[in-house]
Structures are given as C-alpha cells and as structure tokens.
C-alpha cells in the first residue's frame, strides 16, 4: 500500500450531479431522494401528489431539490418531465425509476384496464424516461446512472398480481438490455429489487394476518424492510462506486431470496 496521503475523491459522493427520482412523494422514493441529496446531488422530485413533505425534509438538511408534479400514466409525461428537469437544472445525470403501482385481483378476474394501468406506469414510462435521459447524457458525452426499482417479483411469480409481476420481470430484462447498449456511452444501468418493505404499496399484505406471518417467517432478517434500507444501495448504484457494475438487479431483501 502506498503512503500517498493526498485526499482521494469519495466514490460515493454526488456533488455537482442532478438526480431525477420518480415517485418521490412518499415511501421508497422519498427515502432514496433524501439519500441522494445527503450524498450531495441536486434532486428533482416527481409524483402526482404533494411533494412538499419530501422537499421540506431535504431542504431542512441543507439539500437542494425541486418538485415536478407529474402523472406518469399520461403517455406524454415522461419525455416532458426529462426536458423540464434538464431545463431547470441545466443537466441531468442520474435517473431513479421508482414510481410504481400495484393492482391485486385473482387472475381469472384480472381486468385489462388494471393490466394497462400497471404496464403504463411501471414499464412504459420507465422505457421513455430512460431513453430521453440517455439521449441527453450521450449528447453531453457525460457520465450517467440509471437505477430501476424492480421487485422480488422480478424473480418470482407472486399471487394475485399478474400485471405487476409481468412489469417487474420485464424491468429486470430491460435493465440488462439498456445496460448492453448504454454502457459503451458511459451510462451505468442497474436495478434494485427491494424485498418486502413497509410502505403504502404493502398495506394490504401487512393487514392480512396470515400473509403477514408467512412473509415474516421467510425473511432471515426477521423484519419488514424500511424505506431507509435502500439508501446505501441507491447511492452505490448512482455513484462512481459502481462504475464497473452494469445490468444487475441487486436484491435488498433481508435475505428473502436466499431462503
Ligand atoms: P408507494 O408508497 O405506493 O409509493 C409509490 C410512489 O409512486 C408514490 O410516490 C406515488 O406518488 C408514485 N406514483 C404512482 N403512480 C404514479 C404516477 N402515475 N405518476 C407519478 N408518480 C406515481 O410505494 P413504494 O413501496 O414506495 O414503491 C416504490 C417502488 O418500489 C414501486 O415501483 C414499487 O413497485 C417498488 N417496490 C416496492 C416494494 C415494497 O415492498 N413496498 C417492494 C418491491 C418493489 P403519487 O401517488 O403522489 O403519484
């Protein structure tokens, strides 16, 4: 080991970078946006509902952020959002595709409307956001990082959530497909697969005593995940710490998949 005492750049710092986080109004997106701001990034927050709580939390810690109210179910919204963020901040370096919805029904009764709604938000918007983001990063010949939020249902089938499973499984494939084409352009594309996290998305599961017990019994860590459990993984995949990591879906699941 050399004795060089010159200060090394911190691989996990994001100073001077601009990050767009979709679904930042609450849950996992709010925590990940906070983590990126804590690491030094300026953060664009997108969702349909009020983003004031997340923005106030980030600003109270001295972070820099801006709210971009957006409905990603609107097919024109993803391209407009990327354009608005790039215009406001002058650049965009990190994209966290987190916004997502879930619809639960038995497969025999699952409606085409629910299928389309889930696909539009969880998959189509990710495709368009990522394409528009990558075009801008490539034009600047800059470094870029895309982090997709996948799921245990990128690996497993799930129950009563066929559209969600289809979208999240496709997202793991899209992550690899994009990594193959975007790595040569200096853009890292990876995904995080959260395990069973205590957010609005899983309220129905936690309210069902039998499902809640069955899920907890299978988690080696012995507890539901908290939104803040994703902070380290998102900073890693959004920073130069993961410079040679391309196309992975990283489980952050308390050991669920190890069982
Ligand atoms: P959540 O608490 O329900 O939050 C979902 C976020 O997505 C909200 O900020 C919501 O904001 C936003 N969103 C939903 N539809 C939108 C739309 N049409 N346009 C813009 N934003 C929209 O869920 P979460 O648990 O934090 O989930 C975040 C991501 O993690 C999702 O992709 C989910 O599938 C994934 N995930 C969650 C878990 C879990 O256990 N919780 C596990 C694996 C993966 P508005 O309602 O304000 O628009």
Q: Is the shortest distance between the CB of 100 and ligand 1 below 6 Å?
A: yes
Say if ligand 1 is within 6 A of residue 219 CB.
no
111-125: pLDDT as tens digits: 999 999 999 999 999
- Cα(64) to centroid of ligand 1, in Å? 22
Looking at the predicted structure, is the pLDDT value of residue 43 above 70? yes
pLDDT of residue 6: 78
pLDDT in tens, 115-156: 999 999 999 999 999 999 999 999 999 999 999 999 999 999
Strands (DSSP E) contained in the chain are 18-22, 42-47, 64-69, 94-97, 144-149, 187-194, 249-252
| 144 in contact with ligand 1, CB cutoff 6 A | no
1: pLDDT strictly greater than 70? no
Q: What's the CA gap between 69 and 229, in Å, rounded?
A: 26
Among the listed residues 133, 155, 164, 196, the single catalytic one is 164
Give the model confidence (pLDDT) of 51-80 as tens digits: 999 999 999 999 999 999 999 999 999 999
**Closest atom, ligand 1, to C-alpha of 102:** 34
Calculate what percentage of the chain has a pLDDT beyond 70. Answer: 98
- Helices (H) and strands (E) counted in the chain, each on its own, are 9, 7
Average pLDDT of the segment spanning 6-13: 89
4 CA distance to ligand 1 centroid (A)?
46
Give the model's pLDDT for residue 66.
98
Q: Is residue 26 within 6 Å of ligand 1 at its C-beta?
A: yes
Q: What is the set of domains in the chain, with CATH numbers?
A: 18-200+227-254 (3.40.50.720)
- Read off the pLDDT band of 4 (50, 70, 90): low
Is 164 considered catalytic here?
Answer: yes
d(C-alpha 56, C-alpha 58), whole Å: 6
Element (H, E) at 216: helix 209-218
**Looking at residue 7, what is its pLDDT?**
80
Name the β-bridge partners of 42. 18, 64
Question: Is any atom of ligand 1 closer than 6 Å to the C-beta of 68?
Answer: no
Asked whether the predicted pLDDT for residue 94 surpasses 70, the reply is yes
Mean pLDDT to the nearest integer, 239-258: 98
């Amino acid at each position: 080991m050399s004795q060089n005492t010159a200060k090394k750049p911190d691989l996990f710092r994001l100073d001077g970078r601009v990050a767009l986080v979709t679904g930042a109004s609450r849950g996992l997106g709010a925590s990940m946006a906070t983590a990126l701001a804590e690491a030094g990034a300026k953060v664009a927050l997108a969702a349909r509902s009020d983003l004031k709580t997340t923005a106030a939390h980030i600003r109270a810690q001295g972070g820099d952020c801006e709210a971009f109210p957006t409905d990603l179910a609107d097919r024109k919204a993803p391209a407009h959002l990327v354009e608005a963020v790039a215009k406001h901040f002058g650049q965009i370096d990190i994209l966290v595709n987190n916004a997502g919805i879930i619809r639960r029904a038995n497969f025999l009764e699952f409606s085409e409307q629910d299928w389309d709604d889930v696909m539009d938000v969880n998959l189509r918007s990710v495709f368009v956001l990522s394409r528009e983001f990558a075009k801008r990063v490539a034009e600047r010949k800059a470094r870029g990082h895309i982090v997709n939020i996948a799921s245990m249902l990128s690996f497993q089938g799930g129950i009563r959530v066929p559209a969600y499973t289809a979208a999240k499984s496709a997202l793991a494939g899209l992550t690899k497909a994009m990594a193959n084409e975007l790595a040569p352009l200096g853009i890292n594309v990876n995904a995080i697969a959260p395990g069973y996290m205590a957010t609005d998305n899983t309220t129905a599961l936690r309210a069902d005593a039998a499902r809640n017990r069955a899920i907890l019994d299978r988690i080696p860590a012995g507890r539901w995940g908290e939104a803040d459990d994703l902070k380290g993984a998102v900073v890693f995949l959004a920073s130069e710490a993961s410079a040679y990591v391309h196309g992975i879906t990283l489980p952050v699941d308390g050991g669920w998949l190890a069982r």
